[in-house]
Structure 1
Amino acid sequence: MRSPTLHDVARSAGVSYSTADRVLNGRGGVAEKSALRVRHAIEALGYVRDIHAANLSRRRSYRFRFFLPRGDHGFFSVLRETLEREAGARAAERLDVTCRDVPALDAKALAEELSRIEAGDCDCAAVVGADSPYLTAAIARLRSIGVPVVTLVSDTADEVRSLYVGINNRMAGRTAGRLMRMAHRARAGRILIVLGSLSARDHRDRLEGAREIMQAPGSKLDLLPPIEVRDRPETMRERLGEALRQDSGITGLYSIGAGNRALVGLFEGLEGPRPFAVLHELTPLSRAALEGDLIDAVIDQKPAEEIARALDAMRAIADGRPPPPTDIVPTIYLKDNLPGAGRGGNLPGTGRGAICPAPAGRRLGQAT
């Protein structure tokens, strides 16, 4: 059975197609009696507007802006590449996507970038959240001028942002804690947690989730004070290196954020057994470390799915429709279940070489 069309609505209401179209699009110029008949016909027939077809007929483009952290973080390089690929694949949907680099874990700098957006500049913006009054105020200002904001990876300002797209970071932290307990099999252990910054909600939520499991009754794991490295490899090298030199009894390490190039380098130079190690995000670096037995597990938030869901949600918000589900269940990768293993071993979408971030302000998949 076919779906009712606007022609069916017009026929049922006893008005012309153009009159039904004016009522549907709120353009006015229709007598209230006729408008009421059109609305009743829409409800009686169960007519649902085809937003995609309407946008094509009006040749509407969706203007989306993404603001992603730069720095030594392979995950955001993967995220940029995925965004470029997905935007290009959706050219028929008339997506005009721009991606700008912002400093990692610098909410004030991100807020300054958002302050440059004016009403009508774009249909929706996507940012990686961080808890900061500067960022909350910037998102609130955008909302007040009709520019909705979606948060990715890490949530923030949930009272003013429109939607969060990503994994449950507390659940991810609990997963890491469970892996640590399984690795120690009720043995005593000393666990060191390394994070970027407690100002990042995803880092803080992962830390709290890991603590919930590793400090639960029956656990024999001793949690050392966490160290912050600001997602910088040089800081990771200095602070983690010092921790490993000072405490040879560390049996487990959970790295919540980035800077892991230095972590892998430190593990390569260790004499004797290394700690059981859990990292986040499957990147060329973490994949090679898994394959080389330098780390043990990676919790990945599936960037391809994250970008696809973000774009779907941003379109829905721009169209005034309820957004689709945006929760993502992370994947646990071990050396034995890496994607593409035995078929060249490439991380899907990354190619064989190093991943280069898109230049600041680069437009991705521009509509034609």
Structure 2
Amino acid sequence: MAHPFLVKDIAFQASLSTATVDRVLNGRPGVRRQTEMRVRAAIAELEKQQTGAETTGSKLAIDILMEAPERFTAAVRDAFEAEVATYLPTIFRCRFHFHEVMRPAELALLIDRIRLRGTDGMVVKAPDVADVGAAIRRAVEAGIPVVTLVTDLPNTGRIAYAGADNRAAGETAAYLIGECAASQRAKVLVTLSSSRFRGEEEREIGFRRVMRDRFPDVGIREISEGHGTDIATGSLVSSVLVQDPDINAVYSIGGGNRAVLAAFEAAGRDIRIYVAHDLDADNRALLRDRRITFVLHHDLRTDARCAFRAIMSRGAIGGRALVSSPSAVEIITPYNMPTAG
């Protein structure tokens, strides 16, 4: 596996030990296929970073940490890499640390390692749990600007939040579903990736408030902890469909929409209305094929722009947080879908 990088740098990027990386690089036995793939992905990421670092101009190296499904992190990567070019001659070198599922203690350790190694800023999509919050506060106390992405952590000292108004997004979903389903017998399946994310909780709060106030006859059933991954989400949906024969609508807060649809199809169940979040590649295809009804979308490039501007405004560190407006939530149908990229 040819590469020009130090083993310790690959290990850091892959969140593995140097001994494990050394075993992979030298083809020694006893290495899982998944581990080998992580090392290859880390080398590929370092190659991208090196290419960006060779550009002339003022450079800011920032670390973007996310616990999210690959379909969403791919969209985030595209948005940040596209937005970088608009800040020339300032060069943002983005180092991506993406994991579909990560234990809070592991994420906190990664934040600490980045703090100790050094960075010009962190952009974090993380669960609202004690270990992660404490790690972010340590980074802030060390003078590192931290921006939360998509889901907020307001009690950590972060300098800005880049993302949509999640409560308004949940209220919008309730309006769409309620207006469609209220005149008929309906029950909505609300799917969260995990209750640990404040942004998802805010979407659910907004959704339930409007449904309670305006559409009290529409039932709600909730599932959580599928982490937006297809296998876990599909299994949860299949189980709840067996238990509840009345579910005929979906508000997908946490993703995994192909798996949700597959579970309904396997059960021979129809969906009257399906509202999802984020216009990633999967959701574009599902919306185009009329398998989901609406996508609530906000522009990730706007979020990237907010993050870059906040990190460049380093004077906010040690003072009050920057004032930033949430990204606008758009209702996307097959007829007003923005072009990819």
Give the TM-score range, shorter chain. 0.7 to 0.9
**Offset at residue 155 of structure 1 (A):** 0.6
Shift of 1:295: 1.0
Q: Offset of 1:233 from its aligned partner?
A: 1.0
Helix, strand or coil for the counterpart of 2:114?
A: coil
Greater per-residue helix proportion: 2
Q: Which residue of 2 aligns with 1:228?
A: 225
Note the alpha carbon deviations across 1:137-159, whole angstroms, 9 max, x for none.
Answer: 10111111111211000011434
Hey, what's the Cα distance between the residues in 1 that align with 2:332 and 2:257? Answer: 16
Amino acid of the structure 1 residue aligned with 2:334:
K
The answer for the alignment partner of 1:238 in structure 2 is: 235
Counterpart among 227, 250, 255 of residue 252 in structure 2: 255
Question: 1:252–1:272: structure 2 CA closer, same or farther, 3 Å change rule?
Answer: closer
Look up the SS of the partner of 1:286 in the other structure.
helix
Pairing partner for 1:80 from 67, 77, 82: 77
- The correspondence for 2:211, drawn from 211, 214, 219, is 214
SS at 1:243's partner residue?
Answer: helix
Match of 1:306 among 286, 303, 306: 303
Superposition deviation, residue 191 in structure 1:
1.3
Q: Which structure: larger Rg?
A: 1
Residue identity matched to 2:125: V
**Alpha-carbon shift at residue 66 of structure 1 (Å):** 1.1
Pairing 1:184–2:174 present: no
Give the count of matched residue pairs.
Answer: 283
Aligned residues: CA RMSD: 2.4
Amino acid of the structure 2 residue aligned with 1:205: E
TM-score by length of 1: 0.70
State the one-letter code of the partner of 2:63: R
Q: Which of 199, 204, 208 is residue 196 of structure 2 equivalent to? A: 199
- Does the Cα contact within 8 Å between 2:128 and 2:196 map onto a contact in 1? yes
Q: 2:60 aligns with which of 46, 49, 62?
A: 62
Q: Deviations over 1:243-299 (max 9, x none)?
A: 223333212111111222312333455646324111111112111111212111111
Q: How far apart in 2 are the matches of 1:248 and 1:218?
A: 20
Q: 1:324 to 1:222 in 2, by over 3 A?
A: closer
Query: Structure 1 CA distance, aligned partners of 2:215 and 2:234?
Result: 33
Counterpart-to-counterpart distance in 2, 1:220 and 1:118: 51
Task: Check conservation: 1:124, 1:147, Cα contact below 8 A.
Answer: yes
Determine the structure 1 residue equivalent to 2:166: 169
TM-score when scaled to structure 2? 0.76
Q: Go from structure 1 to structure 2 and tell me whether the alpha carbon gap of 1:78 and 1:315 turns closer, same or farther (over 3 Å shift).
A: same
Give 1:365's aligned residue: none
- The change in CA–CA distance for 1:210 and 1:161 in structure 2 (over 3 A counts) is same
Q: Does 1 or 2 have the higher relative contact order (CA < 8 Å, sep 6+)?
A: 1
Q: Name the CA shift for 1:89/1:273 in 2 (closer, same or farther; >3 Å).
A: same
Shift of the 155–272 alpha-carbon distance from structure 1 to 2, 3 Å rule, reads closer
Provide the residue aligned with 2:333 in structure 1: 334
Which SS does the other structure have where 1:131 is aligned? coil
**1:207 and 1:272, CA in 2 relative to 1: closer, same or farther beyond 3 A?**
closer
Q: C-alpha distance in 1, partners of 2:293/2:102? A: 27
Q: Residues of 1 paired with 2:134 and 2:87: CA distance?
A: 32
Deviations, residues 95-141 of structure 1 (Å, cap 9, x unaligned): 23222223436432221111113468222111003111111110111
Unaligned runs of 5+ in 2: 1-56
1:129 is matched with: 126
CA distance in 2, matches of 1:109, 1:224: 32
Distance 1:127 1:159, change over 3 A: closer
The answer to whether the 8 A contact 1:69-1:103 is kept is yes
Secondary structure of 1:228's counterpart equals coil
Deviations 1:318-342 (A, max 9, x none): 68798563421111111222124xx
The residue type paired with residue 219 of structure 1 is: P
Q: In the TM superposition, what is the alpha-carbon distance from 1:89 to its structure 2 partner?
A: 4.4
% of aligned pairs identical? 25
Q: 2-side partners of 1:148 and 1:272: how far apart? A: 48
The 3-state SS of whatever aligns with 1:183 is helix
Measure how far apart 1:228 and its partner are: 3.4
Distance between the aligned counterparts of 1:172 and 1:315, measured in 2? Answer: 29
What amino acid sits opposite 1:299 in the alignment? L
Give 1:132's aligned amino acid. V
For residues 267 and 336 of structure 2, the distance between their equivalents in structure 1, rounded to whole angstroms, comes to: 26
Are 2:137 and 1:152 equivalent residues in the alignment?
A: no
